[in-house]
Amino acid sequence: MIHERAGEPTRPSDLIDVDALMQDYYQLSPNPATAEERVRFGTGGHRGKASNRSFNQAHILAIVQAIVDWRNRMPQGAPKVLWLGKDTHALSDAAQKTALEVFAANHVRVKLQRDNGVTPTPAVSRAILVANREHGEFYSDGVIITPSHNPPTDGGIKYNQCDGGGADVDATSWIEQRANEYLADGNRQVKRVSYEEALAADTTELIDYVEDYVADLDSVIDMEAIRRANLKIGVNPLGGAALGYWRPIAERYGLNITVVNDKLDPTFSFMTIDHDGKIRMDCSSPWAMRPLVALKDQFDIAFANDPDSDRHGIVTRSIGLMDPNHYLAVAINYLLAHRPEWSTNLGIGKTLVSSSLIDRVARFHGRTLIETPVGFKWFVPGLFKGQICFGGEESAGASFLRKDGSAWTTDKDGPILCLLAAEILAKTGKDPGQWIQELTQKFGKSYYKRIEAPATLAIKDALKSMTPEQVQSSELAGEPIVARLTRAPGNNAAIGGLKVVTENGWFTARPSGTEMAYKIYGESFRSQEHLQRILSEAQEIVADALKNV
């Protein structure tokens, strides 16, 4: 059910008390015997709330020391440099300070944005890859302090390995276990110095991520084409880490960019209320994006990013805010026709909850589709090794190769997906909204929806262990079931849920990797009514599986 205030401006009562949040971060201690208060790595690292003792200073101390231990046990030796970044959530600043205290005490050479600045996730990923090309493949790795688009109350931390992407299951499982051992021991074995000592340490180097990232953009985007087209571009960074990047981009490449919101505010008071009544900086949400959509006729193309800038939201004159699945299909279709240096052997990566419209576009271009579980980390090896040219997920996260076919980032990059929308308009004369209309005429219209409900850890764990046998029916929404999947067809990795497929539709049920909720995704290529029937039957299947939880 959509909240009655969805899309409306915030009120004072909606806003967090930043001082109270900081007090909770520093003063509340988790109980390691309580599952909800332990370190748990999901698809985007460890996330939680200081107020419920799931993201506190104790967690960061334990996690960062565990990351140090993981680096020290690498067969080739610990990386020489760690790139550190944070987004604009209030807890991110506190957590980065705590992290630096541990890294400095362990003599880890850290590079972080000068002037206590913020850094987009893709800037960290790109920095890792560029440094390793120059100094060796195991030279550097990174840590990013971010809960992505989650509400202002939340905090998050993730580890990116030497391939530039989010850590794999082996790494996160080991780090999680080690961190919880530290927590259980009261963090007595964690090494730490004061923040002042850490900042002054000879292992701490203050740098500017912005200049190098901006200067390198024309290796992945046709910036000259955008300049020549003189497009009028609107940008809303949603109070995120990309804010300090858009004006340098405009200045370097001569682009006509208007930043419509230049506010940095840890309460995110400038946001509009999301679908569930919360403040959420989700650039794919029509409710969170309502202010930018209202300006669509003032610009040729407009876009937004979330707080760590790994997601994109595209607003076109033709149709307004684009559905993330639709834009992925448009982006893939365009890139496969406009990147002549890319090998035709390169595949397309998509998560199994992304639209099957992508499958049809990939098939049309003769490309192999690699369908993975949810989580961008599954695309990292393919992008890093040059096996896929594009990896994307339905939650508006994607990245793709440089024009020469080498890796740009192996984590999601919101700004390049935004700039690609401008390139598409500049090079073809049609905005992505017009292109999706052509693609749906060619490949069929997709009806897609995601629903969610609150979930305890027990419910989430039960969903992770669902089996194909729990689907007793031979039909879904009147069509024969052709596949019951608990492992992804692209890499045989566990889905952590269940996908059921028919000729013209499918659903996937899985726990959220970022919030205390479970999600059901569904798609139909027949009708809205057919989609609703798929979702209804999916809920019955899930409810039956969870009845004893």
Q: Edge-to-edge strands of the sheet including 447-454? A: 447-454, 517-524, 505-511, 494-501, 483-487
Please say if 148 is a catalytic residue: yes
Whether the CB-CB separation of 172 and 159 falls below 8 Å is answered with yes
Please answer whether residues 378 and 351 qualify as being in contact, where contact means their C-beta atoms are separated by less than 8 angstroms. yes
Note whether 29 and 58 are within 8 A (CB).
yes
C-alpha–C-alpha distance, residues 317 and 292, integer Å: 11
Closest CA to 127 of 167, 157, 83: 83
Residue 115 is given by DSSP the state: G
SS3 346: coil
Q: For residues 11, 13, 19 and 20, what is the CA-based torsion angle, rounded to 10 degrees?
A: -150
Distance CA 308, CA 525 (A): 34
368-377: burial string, b at 16+ Cβ within 10 Å, e else: ebbbbbbbbb
- What DSSP string describes 51-82? TTTSSSHHHHHHHHHHHHHHHHT-TT---SEE
89 within 8 A of 271, measured Cβ to Cβ: no
Q: Which of 125, 148, 354, 524 is catalytic?
A: 148
Locate all alpha helices (DSSP H) within 294-345, ordered by sequence: 324-338
Number of Cβ atoms within 10 Å of the Cβ of 211: 11
Separation CA 233–CA 446 (nearest Å): 28
What is the separation of C-alpha 463 from the centre of its chain, rounded to a whole number of angstroms? 22
Token couple for 50? 């200081």
User: Cβ distance 352 to 501 under 8 Å?
Assistant: no
| Close Cβ partners of 393 (under 8 Å, ≥ 6 residues apart) | 350, 351, 353, 354, 374, 375, 376, 412
Q: Which sequence positions are flagged as catalytic?
A: 148
